[in-house]
Amino acid sequence: MRYLKATAQDRSGNGRADMVILQFFERPAGDPDELVHEAVAVDITADGATEILLPGDINFDGYRSAEDKALLKTFSDVFLQLNWFNPGETWRRYLTMRVARWSGGGVPNMLKLSFHQCCTSQGRRVLMHSVVGYDGDNDGIVESITHSGPKRDCSGDHRDSDATKALCDAFLAFGWHTSARFKTV
């Protein structure tokens, strides 16, 4: 299974997220999670738009290109809109995204977004909210969103359906999902 862990941080201390870190993980059957790739985007002006982009080969096509930067910028700018971030350099809040279901043709048609927060000194993570995005016609664009999971009182605009749909579309554009023969549920 492959999944993305997205973390935003307010490193400047102005109450707005200014750094987004994307970590691409793979979990081979029976093995621990492996960090395969990391990308970073920085919003120096704290205006919700990232200016410094360090994507590497974020679409895993074997090349570092302008397309990689565009994909990172699209995802990071939308993720900043959700207002799900950490003060300073902490890692307590994060979002994970993965393909939850495949169409008969092997195309991802359901994505699961899980908003987590570490709430104890031992680092125990708590699922704060879940969102599921559906691509009903398998065109790589999410048409609908449902909110599920716990109804916890937490700050963040993760219930914004338009931003969540855009985030799902950006995730699909990375191509970071497992082939249908390794279906995840």
Encode pLDDT of 91-144 as tens digits: 999 999 999 999 888 889 999 999 999 876 676 788 999 999 999 888 888 999
Helices (H), the chain: 66-81, 161-174
* Percent of all residues in the chain with a pLDDT value above 90, rounded to a whole number: 63
**CA–CA distance, 131 with 111 (Å, rounded to integer):** 8
Mean pLDDT over 59-65 rounds to: 91
Average pLDDT over the chain, rounded to an integer: 87
Mean pLDDT over 24-29 rounds to: 90
Is pLDDT above 50 for 181?
no
Displacement of CA 105 from its chain's centroid (Å): 24
**Which SS3 state, helix, strand or coil, does residue 157 take?**
coil
Mean pLDDT over 6-18 rounds to: 94
Q: What is the pairing mode between strands 86-87 and 2-10?
A: parallel
Pair 71, 58: CB distance under 8 Å: yes
Structure tokens at 110: 């359901």
Which one of 1-15, 95-109, 129-143, 165-179 scores highest in mean pLDDT?
Answer: 1-15
**CA–CA distance, 69 with 78 (Å, rounded to integer):** 14
Rounded to two decimals, the pTM is 0.88
Which residues 6+ apart lie within 8 Å of 173 measured at CB? 59, 71, 74, 140
